[in-house]
């Protein structure tokens, strides 16, 4: 009987203790879910462009220079920037690339292309895949342009990936159309970006 009473008392003490532990665990998860930092890994980030013309489609790549983002889950505010090295643009043709950098992008004068997001429209899940819209300011050729980019995001506890696709109407944004009398190209270029990196919870 004495042992039963002692066991009952130990149970009464243990239950509030376990409840406190469970409460702290839930509270810390909820607190961490308020915001998360995304670090882009240049080695695992691919930025490609596609430009159509009357004869064939030109494909090429750019390299990520740096990138870091911070998302507040409660307000859906997204801050930070993604910076692309303009001079890294490569379509596989030296003559075409020289023309692109010298006459269209003016890479020596504008060595970086940046995207500074400010919010996410939609819900980013803490685990699994999410489809959202990322709104922000896209800077190219020295000018800012408001842009909304569709994004497919997949989250895990310590890693994330994102796939983005959007068009850049470079001619309407003040850049030269490289078309000639015998070669006509589209006035917008399609951008596909697959980004990946580590995430960190406060």
Q: Using one digit for the tens of pLDDT, what is the confidence trace for 80-119?
A: 999 999 999 999 999 989 999 999 999 999 999 999 999 9
Alpha-carbon distance of 6 to 9, in angstroms, equals 5
Rounded-to-10 torsion of CA 193, 138, 96, 182: 110
At 126 the three-state DSSP class reads coil
Within this chain, do residues 106 and 149 fall inside the same structural domain, yes or no?
yes
CA-based nearest residue to 92, from 44, 57, 64: 57
Count of C-beta atoms within a 10 Å radius of residue 33:
12
Pure H helices in the chain? 2-32, 94-99
Within this chain, do residues 24 and 41 fall inside the same structural domain, yes or no?
no
Burial class of 54 by CB neighbour count within 10 A (0 to 12, 13 to 18, 19+): exposed
Range of the domain at 54: 35-200
Within this chain, do residues 28 and 60 fall inside the same structural domain, yes or no?
no
Q: What Cα–Cα distance (Å) separates residue 106 from each residue in 52, 64, 87, 142, 196?
A: 21, 18, 9, 10, 29
26-54 mean pLDDT? 75
Alpha-carbon distance of 101 to 110, in angstroms, equals 10
Within this chain, do residues 28 and 100 fall inside the same structural domain, yes or no?
no
The pLDDT of residue 126? 86
Within this chain, do residues 91 and 153 fall inside the same structural domain, yes or no?
yes
Within this chain, do residues 48 and 145 fall inside the same structural domain, yes or no?
yes
Least confident stretch, 25-34, 51-60, 64-73 = 25-34
Within this chain, do residues 69 and 92 fall inside the same structural domain, yes or no?
yes
The pLDDT of residue 202? 62
How many domains in the chain?
2
Answer whether residue 57 shows pLDDT above 50: yes
* Contact status, residue 110 vs residue 142, Cβ threshold 8 Å: yes
Q: Are strands 112-121 and 77-90 parallel, antiparallel or unpaired?
A: antiparallel
Alpha-carbon distance of 45 to 195, in angstroms, equals 4
Answer whether residue 161 shows pLDDT above 90: yes
């Amino acid at each position: 009987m004495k042992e039963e009473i002692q066991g009952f008392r130990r149970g009464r003490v243990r239950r509030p203790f376990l409840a406190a532990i469970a409460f702290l665990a839930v509270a810390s998860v909820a607190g961490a879910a308020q915001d998360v930092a995304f670090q882009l890994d240049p080695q695992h980030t691919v930025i490609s462009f596609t430009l159509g013309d009357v004869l064939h489609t030109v494909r090429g790549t750019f390299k990520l220079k740096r990138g870091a983002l911070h998302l507040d889950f409660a307000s859906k505010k997204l801050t930070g920037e993604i910076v692309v090295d303009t001079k890294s643009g490569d379509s596989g043709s030296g003559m075409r690339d020289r023309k692109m950098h010298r006459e269209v992008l003016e890479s020596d004068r504008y060595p970086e292309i940046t995207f500074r997001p400010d919010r996410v429209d939609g819900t980013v899940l803490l685990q699994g895949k999410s489809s959202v819209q990322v709104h922000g300011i896209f800077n190219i050729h020295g000018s800012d342009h408001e842009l909304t980019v569709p994004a497919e995001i997949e989250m895990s506890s310590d890693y994330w990936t994102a796939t983005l696709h959007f068009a850049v109407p470079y001619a309407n944004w003040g850049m030269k159309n490289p078309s000639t009398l015998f070669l006509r190209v589209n006035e917008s270029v399609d951008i596909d970006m697959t980004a990946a990196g580590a995430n960190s919870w406060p």
